[in-house]
Amino acid sequence: MSLRDMIAEARGLDARLLAAHAAGDGDALVALYGAAGEREEAGGALDAACFYYTHAYVYALEAGHAAAAALHARLVAHGRER
């Protein structure tokens, strides 16, 4: 993926996150923050990935989302949560 494509993808994600925040769409926030975390982790940016996973986890807890347990486990595995 070219740098231009990566920038466009990041801007698209930012726009979708802002829209989900504006709409109060907890399910979308869990999915989008989780996807951002996966993208960062795949790129080797573990601190950035855990930043996004933490946000996904918080929104999952607030929404009673089924992904909360898996997100918590991921944070524990990366030493970010006990």
**Crossing angle between the packed helical segments 68-77 and 26-42, to the nearest 10 degrees:** 30
> pLDDT tens digit string along 11-64?
888 899 999 999 999 999 999 999 999 999 999 999 999 999 999 999 999 999
Please, which residues have CB within 8 angstroms of residue 76's CB and are 6 or more apart in sequence? 82
Instruction: Give the number of domains in the chain.
Output: 1
Max Cα-Cα span within the chain: 38
Is residue 30 within 8 Å of residue 39, measured between CB atoms?
no
**pTM (two decimals):** 0.89
User: 2: which DSSP letter?
Assistant: -
Closest C-alpha among 36, 19, 37 to residue 73: 37
Residue range(s) defining the domain that contains residue 33: 3-77
